[in-house]
Amino acid sequence: MSLNLASLLREAAASSPASPLIHIGETTLNYAQVHAMAQRFAGALRKLGVRQGQHVALMLPNVPQFTIAYFGAQYAGCPVVPLNVLLTADEVAYHLDDSDAVVLVAWEGFLEAASGGFGRVPTTHHLIVVKADPKDVTAPEGALNFAACLGGAEPLPEPVATRPDDTAVILYTSGTTGRPKGAELTHFNLLYNAEYVAQVLFRGITGFRALVCLPLFHSFGQTVLQNAAIAAGGSLVLLPRFDPQSAMALMERHQVTLFAGVPTMYFALLHFPDAARFSLSSLEYCVSGGSAMPVEVMRAFDAKYGVNILEGYGLSETSPVASFNVTDRPKKPGSIGLPIRRVEFRLESETGAVITEPGVPGEICIKGPNVMKGYYKRPEATAEAIKDGWFHSGDVGTRDEDGYYVIVDRKKDMVIRGGFNVYPREIEEVLYAHPAVAEAAVIGVPHDSHGEEVKAVVAFKPGHSATPDELIAYCKEHLAAYKYPRLVEIRDALPKGPTGKILKRELRIG
């Protein structure tokens, strides 16, 4: 049986070719146009000698070329590796090498980091640059131009045959320790998740207009907005960088009916001082995820704009949607809702026993068609995460008498800053490379708008020192902008347990 994620775009373009799919600035592209360009990108990959099964990395913001390259690669049977656009050259090189990507498609605004990383990985053969001006067909030395590649390629008429369990996308996630690892999501994983969101969460309504300010390189933006909108025949209003004024102006201009965001975006919209200048009367559906939505923000936003924010839960490893509050059941603010159709949750104690009593906390374990096939080239990590078909999330939750789940704790060391997962181990490794640092620990501290802020606590080697600003600048050189610590505390020594392990819980309370 053949199943290809590209069928989403192909079928939508066949049924509604003239319907608008993408709006950005003054440009609108319909389904037929986007589909034709995706076919040409698939043809361009073939022309470059890229074979089915080889990986294509994308370092693109919310621009039409993301969707074109994403589905074009699927047409060619090439798994996509979306990269965070804020990565440094060091991080780009790591992701390209670890994923075995043979092509990197990068936005010209990120070219310094993209080309710096590309130049260090000999197995990544092609750098394709996307220009802001689609008529510009120039390219830096050693690179190709995206528009020129499309113009010189024969379109691939049909998606190549791929099996349901073939890898379609590799999403990088760190877990709580170590370097990022790639979660392999299959064509079936992603198609099932997109169809669920379109049919159940959005109740099968077609033609809706969604504001896309969630990054498309993130699983939330990819599935809940891009893929689900295409499955429903909707259109995407792209906003490459979120700010409340631009978001409100686009929602008013395009009469946006669907907004999906992380809690910090809702916080910014709710407290934007000039909000009264804009009408959001067209807004019908609001979805929140990425981190816990403060109940008071949800209630205030619902009341102010006459909407009903539905909060859900998921991880990169679950495609990502695993549970949601849904429209045909009562919403419970503060809850992540119910497991989605055909997905099972269970809570496990620290000993692995299944918890059945309501209100008793345990680790959330997930089983269903949304769960990844594993971590790329990491069988041991896969075996640790998936046991007897159950994915162990590392998040601690409770279940009430109605079957609704609430997150009460999470992977204890992870920081969620503005909806982005920040993994302390990665930052600590950078700090330990600083010549003055003897000990380092990274924690999250509460922040009004970001949810959490990244804080580093360090102790120096004898005879060495550095200022907090110097350490922040050092981290900034080596880490993406959302990762580096904004706060640094210097101590004589860090608290430790009997085995010498740094006690982060004491740093959080002290």
At 2-51, the pLDDT tens digits run: 999 999 999 999 999 999 999 999 999 999 999 999 999 999 999 999 99
Integer Cα distance of 51 and 291 in angstroms: 38
Q: Give the model's pLDDT for residue 497.
A: 63
State percent of the chain over pLDDT 70.
97
At 473-510, the pLDDT tens digits run: 999 999 999 999 999 999 999 997 654 567 887 888 76
| CB atoms inside a 10 Å sphere around CB 356 | 10
At 51-67, the pLDDT tens digits run: 999 999 999 999 999 99
At 185-231, the pLDDT tens digits run: 999 999 999 999 999 888 877 788 999 999 999 999 999 999 999 99
239 phi/psi in degrees, rounded to 5: -125, 105
Q: Look at residue 2 and tell me if it is in a domain.
A: no
User: Can you read off the two tokens belonging to residue 73?
Assistant: 């690669």
343 forms beta bridges with: none
Residues 473 and 427 in one domain: yes
At 324-343, the pLDDT tens digits run: 998 888 899 989 999 999 99
State percent of the chain over pLDDT 90.
79
Q: Give the model's pLDDT for residue 295.
A: 86
Output the DSSP codes for 366-435: EESTTS-SEETT-HHHHHHHEETTEEEEEEEEEE-TTS-EEEEE-STT-EEETTEEE-HHHHHHHHHTST
User: Can you read off the two tokens belonging to residue 21?
Assistant: 């799919």
What's the CATH code of the domain at 280? Answer: 3.40.50.12780
Residues 358 and 462 in one domain: no
Residues 19 and 36 in one domain: yes
Residues 273 and 383 in one domain: yes
Q: What is the mean pLDDT of the chain?
A: 93
**Residue among 20, 22, 32 at smallest CA distance from 207:** 20
> Do 333 and 298 form a contact (C-beta atoms < 8 A)?
yes
- Report the domain count for the chain: 3
At 292-303, the pLDDT tens digits run: 788 888 999 999
Residues 196 and 141 in one domain: no
Domain stop point among 372, 394, 409: 409
Integer Cα distance of 179 and 363 in angstroms: 23
Q: Look at residue 384 and tell me if it is in a domain.
A: yes
383 phi/psi in degrees, rounded to 5: -65, -30
Q: What angle do CA 171, 174, 179 make, to 5 degrees?
A: 110
Q: Give the model's pLDDT for residue 405.
A: 97
At 393-408, the pLDDT tens digits run: 988 889 999 999 998 8
Residue 453 lies in domain = 415-509
Domain stop point among 184, 217, 244: 184
Residues 421 and 300 in one domain: no
Residues 429 and 344 in one domain: no
250 phi/psi in degrees, rounded to 5: -70, -40
Residues 396 and 342 in one domain: yes
Domain stop point among 409, 442, 458: 409
pLDDT greater than 90 at residue 150: yes
User: What pTM was computed for the model?
Assistant: 0.87
Ranges of beta strands (E only) in 8-132 are 20-24, 27-30, 55-59, 80-82, 101-107, 126-130
Which range is least confidently modeled, 120-129, 303-312, 490-499? 490-499
Q: Look at residue 229 and tell me if it is in a domain.
A: yes
Ranges of beta strands (E only) in 31-72 are 55-59
Residues 160 and 217 in one domain: no
Integer Cα distance of 15 and 13 in angstroms: 6
Q: Look at residue 119 and tell me if it is in a domain.
A: yes
Integer Cα distance of 131 and 7 in angstroms: 27
Residue 317 or residue 410, greater confidence: 317
Q: Give the model's pLDDT for residue 176.
A: 47
Residue 350 or residue 140, greater confidence: 140
What's the CATH code of the domain at 38? Answer: 3.40.50.980
Q: Cα 159 vs. chain centroid, distance in angstroms?
A: 25
pLDDT greater than 60 at residue 285: yes
Q: What angle do CA 287, 292, 293 make, to 5 degrees?
A: 55
What's the CATH code of the domain at 488? Answer: 3.30.300.30
Which range is least confidently modeled, 146-155, 245-254, 257-266? 257-266
Residues 224 and 323 in one domain: yes
Residues 297 and 268 in one domain: yes
- Segment 272-298 shows an average pLDDT of 90
pLDDT greater than 80 at residue 412: no
> Do 330 and 401 form a contact (C-beta atoms < 8 A)?
no
Integer Cα distance of 384 and 250 in angstroms: 44
Residues 220 and 139 in one domain: no
**Residue among 263, 269, 222 at smallest CA distance from 243:** 269
Q: Give the model's pLDDT for residue 292.
A: 78
Under the banding of pLDDT at 50, 70 and 90, the label for residue 177 is low
Q: Look at residue 57 and tell me if it is in a domain.
A: yes
Provide Rg for the chain, Cα atoms.
Answer: 23
Which range is least confidently modeled, 56-60, 174-178, 269-273, 417-421? 174-178
Q: Look at residue 1 and tell me if it is in a domain.
A: no
Residue 93 or residue 414, greater confidence: 93
- The residue with tokens 């066949």 is 14
The overall longest dimension of the chain from CA atoms, in Å, is: 71
Secondary structure of the chain: what % helix, strand, coil (to 5)? 30, 25, 40
**Residue among 164, 167, 89 at smallest CA distance from 374:** 167
